[in-house]
Chain A
Amino acid sequence: MQTIFIIAILVFGFLITFQIAKASEYVAVLRGEEKSRKQNNRINALLLLVFLVAGLIGVYYCNEKLASKILKFGSSASDHGLDIDNMLKITIIITGIVFVITQSLLFWFSFKYQESEKREVHFYPHNNQLEIIWTVIPAIVLTVMVGYGLFYWYRITGDAPKNVAQVEVTGKQFEWIFRYPGKDNELGKKYYKNINAAKENPLGQLWEDAANHDDIVLNQEMHLVVNKPVKFIIGAQDVIHNVGLAHFRMKMDAVPGTPTTIWFTPIKTTKQMRLETGDPEFVFELSCDQMCGRGHFSMRGLIVVEEQEEYDLWMASKKPKYFSVFPEKDPENKSVIAAVTGEKK
């Protein structure tokens, strides 16, 4: 019913507008086309000026209204994110100035130089000096922006420090799998043809590689230590995904067949962020930012950043995947198994 009502209103509005437009054409003929053309000209010139003023107010209003909902500059939860925030700030200032100047000139000229019988048009086909000026100035400004940008870019994409912690992040439709290297800080080898969810091997780890024996495999939730650099080794099993970390300002594609990496240092714990944002439910979220199919919009992972002690405690509760595949190898089970087999004997 509501839909029909809305459609009816639209159709009605449509017809009325059309009739007005048609009538205005006849009126123009009656009043003299030239006269009504001039009137239209004045109205549109004025509207352009109004649009400029309203637009600039609108931009200001939008900033005021939405500032609290965007991620504040300098609020990044990673060191690299602070660089990105800086670059963002520089760019917003420069483009903001250019934006206001050029838009103002555009609409102001349109208004000021609207058709008038008194005006003598200035025949002005070119001016080399002027054109050189506005080639050189943007070139200089852009050089500055490229310079700053690349300075930060190399810092962000440069080599990770030696003591970096590693986490492997794997995307598949539509979930995240995380692998920690365990005590040896080495991720064991894997081969995609070994992937077998039923056999407790979601990543295709090669069990003959000893480095795999202490690797811990987790789903959906990852813990990181604050102020400790971490490197993600990123991959995907089926289609391209993307590890998007809005609060850390980091992002990297997860490509099947080609591992990628990013590294950064989380500088705020989840608890800190909760205090800072005044939001007791704040969580770091990992979003898939590359279209990956029907569940793309819900491919969500969680990251908890905490102090070393908390992290250690949490990690102590996790068991390597190796032990779920070969329970007999688990030192905790060994005594139990021995007891069971012993009884049988």
Chain B
Amino acid sequence: MSNETILHGLETESHGEHHAHHETFISKYVFSQDHKTIGKQFLITGIVWAIIGGLFSVLFRLQLGFPEQTFPILETFFGKGAKGGVIQPEFYYALITIHGTVLVFFVLTAGLSGTFANLLIPLQIGARDMASPFLNMLSYWFFFLASIIMFSSLFVHTGPAAGGWTVYPPLSALGQAGDGSKIGMDLWLISMAFFIVSSLLGGLNYIATILNMRTKGMSMTKLPLTMWAILFTAILGVLSFPVLLSGAILLLFDRNLGTSFFLSDIVIGGEILPNEGGSAILFQHLFWFLGHPEVYIILLPAMGMVSEILSVNSRKPIFGYMAMIASLFSIAILAFLVWAHHMFVTGLNPFLGSFFVLLTLLIAVPSAIKVFNWLTTLWRGNIRFTPGMLFAIGFVSLFISGGLTGLFLGNSTIDIHLHDTKFVVAHFHIVMGVASMFGMFAGIYHWFPKMYGRYLNNTLGYIHFWITFLGAYLIFWPMHYEGLAGVPRRYLDLRGWHSFNKFEDLNKIITIVSIIVFAMQLMFVFNFFYSIFKGRKVRTPNPWDSNTLEWTTPINPGHGNWPGEIPEVHRWPYDYSKNGRSFIPQTEPIGPDETKDH
């Protein structure tokens, strides 16, 4: 083994040479083809969207918490949307629609996968860059274009899309149905189409790179779990996003070309439409065929990063590496087979529904394996609580809480009662929204030193974690009870309802907590940008005593990542506390008396 290393050391890497190309500001920071810069571009664009999406949630929470109060300042900013300081229904629905769209797609898909897949794939598998740096750059710029279109839709005079982030037709197909279904909806669909192109370009690149460009010795079973998670994420995205694209295009046809894919037997506002024979439910199948894998597109990268961070900071190998891969794999497969659990009450054939119940609850098995394995990873470890580690622990906690409520909703019997109530809102925010956000935060705190050669401020990191963690539970835990009482989601005012009009205090508390949590995120953003320029400098290439390859690069790696040749890999990435050594990097050959087995 060790002889081979020496031999390999003599080889030269043809593409490793550093061509002294002149990098202008534009080619270095704007139209860059360096995967690290592209990752940062995704991250920063994601942060901008997260602020917008978060701000929108604060606005609609104001309405939910204080429906009887007026906020004249809102009228100053939003004009007729908040006439008299009261958020108007159309505006409210626009807020929730954009909040959902932006956070699901722009922040937790592009911001999360885009950032960490781009940053980490070449660094962790030992490659100079992505398989196609140019496509990679295009992927970002398509995302940017999608962002611009979505952003501009906020300013059209009839307002942005307002049919909910799931944009079910006929509501989204008919301009007569409301202002939010007019030009704003077209822009939403066009923006999503570009977004899908972006994620396809990205996804294909991720798959190609992970499969083909691993460094010498990096067999698939020596890959860090982050890489496995990103690989499955990319496969999910490539296979399911085109279906949404087709749905979006058909919907555009229905809207603008008079087709009847999703329209049938409609009389709206007294006007009789000619469309017959379409199916409104068809769109839901197309939407959720992406929409459900999408949940895992959001969740899997977070799972991968959390596995990595838990292991590094427990100073222990991740427990059950193969089982972790197997569970990622089965989650990825099952993700395609459960979409109709969003549709139990659409009139779906009950017999068909029962299959989706079975397959949905089946996902709980690999999820349980993951949780137990994370717990065992902590067991008898030597845990360092970096902010990244705290967010990783928070992720596991939230994933448990939100995962368990999934067993309520996945069971069609209970779903009849809980479908489209606040219970659903609480469930998916905890398990997919906040948990993945925690995974993203964990990743940012953990890999910030690699991105910028500086640390984020630790104390702010701790404050950020504790307020966000406590806040997340305070906001979403009580919401389950509202759902159990039958309070439907997307109701902006419960005062007209005898059955639901008993949660005023609760809604006030939730709103106040969400304002505090949002303010805390602004603090994080401040910490982020401040630390890029003024943070404490990283002095060692491997600040977390980690095994993986990205920490063998210089503190501020240039384009090409390794100044010399790419290191060779000899072992899996989780040899922590083995044979009395704190960590053994992947580049170290297996010793003669060492067991190869892990």
User: B355 to nearest A CB, angstroms?
Assistant: 10
Asked if B405 CB lies within 8 Å of chain A CBs, one says yes
B411 located at the interface, meaning its Cβ lies under 8 Å from any Cβ of chain A in the complex? yes
Closest to A245 in B: B486
Stretch at the interface among B21-29, B111-119, B191-199, B457-465: B457-465
Given A121-B576, A195-B267, A238-B177, A113 and B376 touching (CB < 8 A)?
no
Complex interface: chain B residues within 8 A of A294 (CB): 89-90, 93, 162, 178-180
Task: State how many angstroms separate the Cβ of A52 from the closest Cβ of chain B.
Answer: 9
Interface residues of A in 258-312 (CB under 8 A from B): 258-261, 281-283, 285, 287-298, 300
Shortest C-beta distance, B98 to chain A (Å), equals 14
Residues on B with beta carbons closer than 8 Å to the beta carbon of A289: 419-421, 488-489
Which residue in B276, B314, B345, B477 is a CB contact (below 8 Å) of A58?
A: B477
Across the interface, B267 reaches (CB within 8 A) one of A99, A114, A134, A238, namely A238
The CA of A109 and the CA of B408, in the complex, are separated in Å by 28
Contact pick for A173, options B177, B357, B419, CB 8 Å: B177
Binds B, one of A63-71, A210-218, A319-327: A63-71
Cβ of B272 and Cβ of A193 under 8 Å apart? yes
Give Cα A37–Cα B417 distance, bound, in whole angstroms: 49
Across the interface, do A239 and B177 meet the contact criterion of CB distance under 8 Å? Answer: yes
Stretch at the interface among B2-10, B49-57, B346-354: B346-354
Residues on B with C-beta less than 8 A from A197 are 270
Q: Which residues of B contact A256 (CB under 8 A)?
A: 170, 263-266, 280
Q: Are A154 and B350 in contact (CB under 8 A)?
A: yes
**CB of A219 within 8 Å of the partner chain:** no
Cα separation A82 to B153 with both chains bound (whole Å)? 46
Given contacts A121-B577, A255-B347, A294-B178, contact A142 B365 (CB under 8 A): yes
A123 and B486 within 8 A (CB): no
A24-B459, A70-B484 known; A149 vs B168 contact (CB < 8 Å): no
Is the pair B266, A87 in contact by a Cβ cutoff of 8 Å? no
With A123-B577, A293-B178 already in contact, the answer to whether A153 and B502 are too (CB < 8 A) is: no
Contact yes or no, A59 B477, CB < 8 A? yes
**Chain B positions 373-422 with a Cβ under 8 Å from a chain A Cβ:** 373-376, 378-385, 390, 393, 396-397, 400-401, 404-405, 407-408, 411-414, 416-417, 419-421
Give CA–CA (A289, B418) in the complex, Å: 10
B459 touches A25 (CB 8 A): yes
Interface residues of B in 92-127 (CB under 8 A from A): 93
A residues less than 8 Å from B397 (CB atoms): 103, 106-107
Spot the interface stretch: B134-142, B218-226, B292-300, B318-326: B318-326
Q: Which residue of the partner chain, among A238, A253, A283, contacts B498 with CB atoms under 8 Å?
A: A283
CB nearest neighbor in B for A292: B171
B481: CB under 8 A from chain A? yes
Given that A70-B485, A289-B419, A291-B490 are contacting pairs, would A125 and B457 also be in contact in the complex, using a CB cutoff of 8 Å? no
B148 sits at the interface (CB 8 A): no
Given contacts A45-B385, A149-B411, A255-B346, contact A195 B321 (CB under 8 A): no
A84 proximal to B (CB < 8 A): yes
Instruction: Check A161 for interface membership: any CB of B closer than 8 A.
Output: no
The residues of B that contact A193 with a CB separation of less than 8 Å are 272
- With contacts A91-B414, A293-B178 known, is A124 near B163, CB below 8 A? no
Q: Answer yes or no: A115 CB below 8 A from chain B CBs.
A: yes
* Cα(A288)–Cα(B491), bound, Å: 10
Contact of A69 among B373, B400, B503 (CB under 8 A): B503
Query: Which single residue of chain A is at the shortest CB-CB distance from B491?
Result: A297
| Chain B residues closer than 8 Å to A204, beta-carbon distance | 267
B385 touches A41 (CB 8 A): yes
In the complex, chain B residues 477-523 whose Cβ is within 8 Å of any chain A Cβ: 477-478, 481, 484-486, 488-494, 496-500, 502-503, 506, 519, 522-523
User: Chain A residues near B519 (CB, 8 Å)?
Assistant: 10, 13-14
